[in-house]
Structure 1
Amino acid sequence: MKVLMVHARYRRPGGEDVSVATEARALAALGVEVDLWTLPAETVAGPAAFARAAWNRAAVAELVRRVRQRRPDVIHVQNFFPGLSPAVHRAAARLGIPVAQSVRNWRLVCPAATRFRAGQVCDACVERPLAWPALGRPCWRGQRGATAAAALALGLSGLIGTWGRVARFICPSRAVADALPAGWPKAVVPNMVDPAPAAAGPGAAAVVYAGRLTQEKGVGCLAEAWRRHPLPPLDVYGEGPMESALAGVPGITLHGRRDHGQVLEAMAAARAVVVPSLWPEPFGRAAIEALACGTPVVATAAGALPELIEDGLTGHVVPADDPHALARAVQATGGSGQRQAARTAFERRFAAPVVAPRLVEVYRSCLP
């Protein structure tokens, strides 16, 4: 089988980029011929950015060239916004090539792709053909103009029937699948992680947080938990506008952005990994990376996170934005039984050799 995999990078590297690279490697290991076309991060701003997000002629031309050269059986579009545009879906339809579209964020139902605004979950635009409630609001990148451009570009795509040309929407969780329109053809395939040796021993005393330092990631709740409770040391890996909320809190050490391998090493040595999200996480890659290391997870009941963690077995699931519940769970996490259960759950559900064949089956289901 031949697959043309297309991915437009965001301005800041993130978990989606890691997921795309992991899928390409895992598929190649199964003998799938993968042509990975990765677009650089979009740097255009203003009216030109809206035009490209709505209809990128250059991307269409390159897609046509690659299809004619490689003759893929399926086109797997990972992220299309803003650098690629939904024009590629229509071009693929004209060429007679089925398209599978990954849905790793909330972009198709929310212009900001977060379903989070003004400190709380926001579903004002979900199930609307045009996200008109977002018009005039600074939902995306804190800019009204950028938000309006995203809403209009996606609304135009729906109006001209772009999403009806997608053979399968690949969702990493049931939470994502349930948020998409009922009539769309969906397949739930979790994000995958390359297997690695699990950490030996009971783990160190420290707890690890790895991710963006933003409000929706629950950084404020994290700071409050460590400020008000006697907890193990917390090592924080990541950058973002809420770094100041953690600076100076007793027991918290800020390491900034580090190499992905270094972060995994810290996870493997940790007592627990904490994922205190407030927004409805579409998946939660940090959680399964922790499980891969044999490290239990303390996560909030936000979005897909309860699908990943078996409460009391591979970690604990607590209410969102409750620093006291978060602290109690951290104190109760880290025994050898949980570490073994975490690794076993990863091997059974999220290891790349286990998940990749499911992705191949989705491709096959797209074929005529």
Structure 2
Amino acid sequence: MHVLVVHNRYSSAQPSGENRVVDEEVALLRAGGHRVGLFERRSDDIAARSLPGKAAVPLLVPWNPGARAELAARLRAERPDVVHVHNVFPLLSPAVIAACADAGVPVVATLHNYTQVCPPGTLHRDGRACTECVGSVAALPAVRHGCYRNSRLATVPLAVSLTVNRRRWWSGVDRFFCISATQRDILVRSGMPAERLVVKHNFVPDPGIRRTDAGEHLLFLGRLTEAKGVRLLMAAWDSLAADGGVGVPLVLAGAGPLESEVTAWAAGREDVRYAGLYDPEQVRQAVARSVAVVAPSMSQETFGLVVAEAMAAGVPAVGAAHGAFTELVEDGATGLLHRPGDAASLASCLRRITADPAGNREMGRTARHRYDQSFSPAVGLERLVEGYRSAIAGRSGGAQGAPPVGNTDTDPRGGTRAGGKRGQ
């Protein structure tokens, strides 16, 4: 199969799980014998633009005619079987969907967040869940609240793009990959076409290393932001420390707006270590040495790569009981779930996960089994190709050359039934 991947790469100044997913899927497809091309823009390139060029970037967010023309020409020249769209903000825009329509090429789009119904894509504002823009014709609440970068002006291009391009997305994309059933349910309730939304969880490469003992620390791995639950975790940890601790230290690895706060909080403590930003090898080692990985997010995550990474290493997770974590973490079997936003509940789970080494090891074994079944590269490749074939068959009306993928009726969890398997 010939696939053209379309993606606007996020800034390299901060680690991007989305960039990583794109890179790993491209490598997976190529290793599986498929031909994969890339049509990319890089947010890093904005810094090299002239002052007028930088000022023009917001105007490109709703519509970039240059990207449309360039992609349309490439599609006519290469004629891929399918286009796989990831992020289009800020330099590509939904004009890439029009380019695919111009060339008559089927389109699959992975929805890594909630930008189809929420301008910043988070469904989170001021420390709480927010769905004011979900289902609304225009995203005016987001502008009023300045939801993107706490700026009304910066939010306007995103709100305009969501409003004017909603129908273009919904009619121009043959298959949307939702990365959790929770995400799909929210998008269907918002009015997106249910028949085009299928669940395809992200896969995680096998780390090549697994936990072999009880572990030596609890690990938070991610962006240091309030939305990721960093302040909640610090409050829970302080309450545990005041009560004697849990016998292992807390390691926080990552970067973000709360870095100075985390650094000051961890300074001089033996029970906390701020490790800064890990490289991929350090991540693998740190996860495999964990008693558990902690994911106390305040917002409803669409997936949770860190939880799947923990599963791959045979490590349980402690996560907030909302969003995709309720799918990834089976409470009491592959980890523990705490009440979202509740420091006392999080502290209780951290105490429980460290207090029973035998039970913890059994959770780790169950987590690895779940990884093999649902998040391994083999499963990821199968579901990617299945989604592509379904999009091609739907566009061609089941013409020859597009192998059938079975019944695509919606299943109770929001995926599709294809050959008897759920598209999780």
- Identity of counterpart residues, as a percentage? 38
Equivalent residue for 1:225?
Answer: 236
Shift of 1:46: 6.8
Match of 2:173 among 153, 166, 183: 166
Task: Identify which of 336, 354, 359 aligns with 2:384.
Answer: 359
Corresponding residue for 2:372?
347
Q: Which residue of 2 aligns with 1:114?
A: 122
Q: TM-score by structure 1 length?
A: 0.95
- Residue 266 of structure 1: how far off its partner (Å): 0.2
Amino acid at match of 2:6: V
Indicate the SS of the match to 1:169: strand
Following TM superposition, by how much is the alpha carbon of 1:79 offset from its aligned partner in structure 2, in angstroms?
A: 0.8
CA contact (8 A) 1:204 1:269 kept: yes
Report the residue type matching 1:322 in the other structure.
D
Residue matched to 2:205: 194
Helix, strand or coil for the counterpart of 2:337? strand
Counterpart amino acid of residue 220 in structure 2:
Y
Cα distance in 2, alignment partners of residues 260 and 105 from structure 1 = 23
- Partner of residue 295, structure 1: 315
Displacement after TM superposition at 1:200 (Å): 4.0
Q: 1:26 to 1:188 in 2, by over 3 A?
A: same
Question: Paired residue for 2:78?
Answer: 70
Residue 270 of structure 1 pairs with residue 270 of structure 2: no
Displacement after TM superposition at 1:76 (Å): 0.4
Partner of 1:279: 299
Counterpart contact for 1:198–1:294, Cα < 8 Å? no
SS at match of 2:160: helix
The within-5 A match list for 1:114-263 is 114-158=122-166, 161-180=168-187, 181-184=191-194, 185-229=196-240, 230-231=245-246, 232-246=248-262, 247-249=264-266, 250=269, 251-263=271-283
Which secondary structure state, in structure 2, belongs to the residue aligned with residue 215 of structure 1? coil
Which residue does 2:33 correspond to in 1? 31
Could you tell me how far apart the structure 2 residues matched to 1:114 and 1:61 are? Answer: 31
- Structure 2: how far apart are the matches of 1:37 and 1:265? 33
Aligned residues: 367
* Post-superposition offset of 1:304: 0.7
* TM-score using structure 2 length: 0.83
Query: d(CA) in 2 for partners of 1:142 and 1:352?
Result: 38
> Are residues 1:40 and 2:77 paired?
no
Task: Tell me the equivalent position of 2:3.
Answer: 3
Q: Report deviation, 1:182.
A: 4.3
Q: Is the 8 A contact 1:198 1:343 kept in 2?
A: no
| Alpha-carbon spacing, 1:13–1:198, altered in 2? closer, same or farther (3 Å) | closer
- Cα shift at 1:340: 1.0
CA distance 1:321–1:244, shift in 2 (3 Å): farther
Kindly indicate whether the alpha-carbon contact (under 8 Å) linking 2:179 and 2:303 is maintained by their aligned counterparts in 1. Answer: yes
Amino acid at match of 2:72: V
* More displaced 10-residue stretch of structure 1: 48-57 or 298-307: 48-57
- Asked if 1 retains the 8 angstrom alpha-carbon contact of 2:4 and 2:39, the reply is yes
Alignment pair present for 1:315 and 2:335: yes
Match for residue 16 of structure 1 among 18, 21, 43: 18
Q: Which residue of 1 aligns with 2:403?
A: none
Amino acid at match of 2:39: W
5+ residue gaps, structure 2, are 397-424
- How much has 1:130 moved relative to structure 2? 1.5
How much has 1:361 moved relative to structure 2? 0.8
CA RMSD of aligned residues (A): 1.7
**Measured at CA, do residues 321 and 23 of structure 1 come closer, stay the same or move farther in structure 2, by a change above 3 Å?**
same
3-state DSSP of counterpart to 1:202: coil
Shift of 1:158: 2.1
Long gaps (5+) in structure 1: none
